[in-house]
Structure 1
Amino acid sequence: MTAPQIVRYGELIPCRTAFIDAHTPGSDQKENFTIIGGGVSESPDQHVHIKETPGFNIGAAGQPPKCRNSLHSHRTAEVFYVLKGRWRFFWGRWGTAGEVVLQEGDIFNIPTGIFRGFENIGDDYGMIMAILGGEDAGGGVIWAPQVIEDAREHGLVLGENGVLYDTKKGEALPDGVGPMPLLTDRELATYPEPRSDEVVSKYIARYWDMMALADGKPCKVIGADGLIKDRPGFEVDLLRRGSIAETPYTTDRHEVLMVMRGHWIVRWGKEAVVLAPGDTCAVPPGLEHSLAPSMSGEASLYRVMNTDDPAGPTWTR
């Protein structure tokens, strides 16, 4: 019998040089975390807690107030939920096409193929948890041209091989490796600029709405029949106290449990473990286990499971 793998919130190892904007003022205090899978980090310094990918990647971003993540795009799904704080998400070529503010527990399935960024607009250190589609998270990050240019001015150069080089440390592009080319005007014209109402109505679910719908059964959040109707290679449910029976069950899918509120106890065989907010638990296929809150009070978690759907683009104009 294979046991679940657990990554504790308090044991997460941050990387402060994960992406090209690591030296850019306003973005230079970010901390990135790779929990499951290789993620999309451009730095060899990024620590990976669980290397085996269940068909998707799990990561997180921690930022102090007023710190922002620069405009970028992905070819596959990028789903965030707010664990701590208050966050503003914005999108478009210059970040001005639309925006939305998310509170703790809210979830956002950001449409593929648009430039997006986000910033902590709360008063304390904030944390957002991320689910990235695909085994290799879609082949990396596509940066808006101005992000690459700003980074170069502050000593970071992204090679066409997807690796960062820090000129402040005396690093240079290796022989035969050129800088990452900027997107052309023709290529940039293919990136959609959806309005706020187009995105908010289809790609966002609010925490307290989901909690109400999870009374007596899991709330299907992302999936063919979810609140957010998408099939990005995984599905997401929100569970609260009483959403599922406390009897053992099995599934032939990878199951990743990400605790939002309260404490949850996972039992398998003669073993048991208690999960706290921010903890991530990867349950392997075929393992009989049970899941229940361990104390009274508010309790919720996101459950992510792989599907047979391809991890491809989701946005349509």
Structure 2
Amino acid sequence: MLELQGLTKTFGGQTAVHNETFSVAPGTIMGLIGQNGAGKTTTFRMILNFLHPDNGAVLWNGRPMAVQDRAFIGYLPEERGLYPKMRVADQIVFFAQLHGLSRAEALARLDKWMDRFQVKGKKTDKVKDLSKGNQQKIQLIATLIHMPKLLILDEPFSGLDPVNAGLLEDGIRLLKDNGSAIIFSSHDMSNVEEVSDHLVMLRNGEMVLNGKVGEIRQQFGRTKVYLEQPPLSDQELQDFPGVEKVVHQGTRYTLTLSDPTVGHALFEAATAKGYLPEFSQQPPTLDEIFKLKAGASA
């Protein structure tokens, strides 16, 4: 288990992270979110012992991270780094050996990972001859091939199209099922909501959200209503007591309520006037919560 206990880090007079405390258990995925400069990358660097906290501790299975043999960690930095003139196989073997795998073990696993991520290219290709997307897949394979017990991913979905993002999600879940503790950052709230068991949000270095994704959403109440082809007119929806905002796209409407209890009256009023193909009352999306907690500047 990864544990962060009261981490604080300052640079000059600027506090990057303050009193950060959370844990990531084996077989779970934690999403770390926050606007640019919130402290996410600083957190990762303290976990990896690249930076030393001013206060607090980072523990792995109850022991300080600084005294661990870190071969069990997989880390994908936001600033990707491959050797462009090396062949794919040599690149993967190099990183795998740094984490304790033999050349034979690395090569035996490489074919499966290239197939899993649908890499367009051969093991004998130089990295520079692959497309940007396939280079990113090779970087991911280098991070995952030794099946790390602790996996840290800094913006792993950046630049990936939906198909390849889905392949990465499958790879992350494979490690989760294998018992890895996983922590990743992302600006794409749909990825965070889809993949994460647990969520921490930082704002200016302070933790402002910490909990299971579903429980965090429920804290904000079911103030969103999604309608399709409502028998009420646009004006009736806008004038309905307790409806604060109406967004209309095609046949679909998204309503923001001042109070979740308004939903019952709205449903009765709509169905009394005719057939309603869809009525769904939900808490705010994670993207909406992020904007609310991060502030307008985000």
Q: TM-score, normalised by structure 2?
A: 0.26
Return the index of the structure with the highest Cα Rg.
2
Q: Which has the higher helix share?
A: 2
- Relative to the length of structure 1, the TM-score reads 0.25
